[in-house]
Amino acid sequence: MRYTTLGNTGLRVSVAGLGCGGFSRLGLPAGKTEDQAADLVLEAVDLGVNFLDTAPAYGTEPTVGKALKKLQRDKVVVATKVHVVRNGEWYDSARVTQNIDNSLKQLGTDYIDVFQLHGVRVAEYDHTINVVLPALLAAKEKGKIRHLGITESPVDDFTHEMLLRAVNEGVWEVFMVAFNMMHQGTRKKLFSLTQEKKIGTLLMFAVRSIFTKNERVVAALKQAAAAGKISKEIADNPEPLDFLLHEGGAASITEAAYRFAVHEPGVDVVLFGTGNRDHLRTNIKSLLMPPLPAADTAKLAELYGNLIDVGMDASPTQEKK
């Protein structure tokens, strides 16, 4: 495993982070028992993964908690979250505090390494600062939280508007942000700022569903062409990413997507989801491989560097893994 320091937190973290949500949710939607899902977490840790990202909305906090019972707590970095508004209900400080305490109980731990606000939209940011943040700071003062983070809502905030406000706030130590081979605007807008401010970055949507099947990439590019975001000539290519597959390059599009993401300057941890052991090992292997050839990365920038919203699919019905 390869490790790095998460921004200015001092936390030493694996570049491959186990995302316990997404479509896979540790295999629970596919019928895995909680014990089997917890064993998957333990196997990831055995392979060197020490960053675990969960949330109440994922339904996997108890699973992670079950795994933590068999682990030395200070050997893993645990992140979880709370929403600012959920089902039309705006969370006040008391509700946020209650959620923090419940997460501690579900995880079976005395502290959370990185506590994040979940999918904050631009219109929710003022409430976040004025109402929610004081509760987080109070919990941090009591030792329940070690570091504060905030995650964007990539399915509707394609230009990182919320995080571009948050980057100058001086309180957020970790950002969770979307970036992939066809959503490269993060490089131009955000990564230089997070590096300057020493804000740690957790990457989501590096693969998601789009890069698991060629037909999904083709469909997304045709949609982008119809919206005038890319030329029809580029979108008509039936194998739009086949140039990545060659000797000395990547063996699969998924592998290429992970290698592209993990070696991007400004990226600390790439989160991946999984529901089975083979998929777990394959993902970790991809994330530990060298960067893509420079010519391939340059071509990705040339062809797709101006796209900002491809691969931001939030529908679990499309995911088969």
Tokens of 25: 């949710």
Catalytic center residues:
58
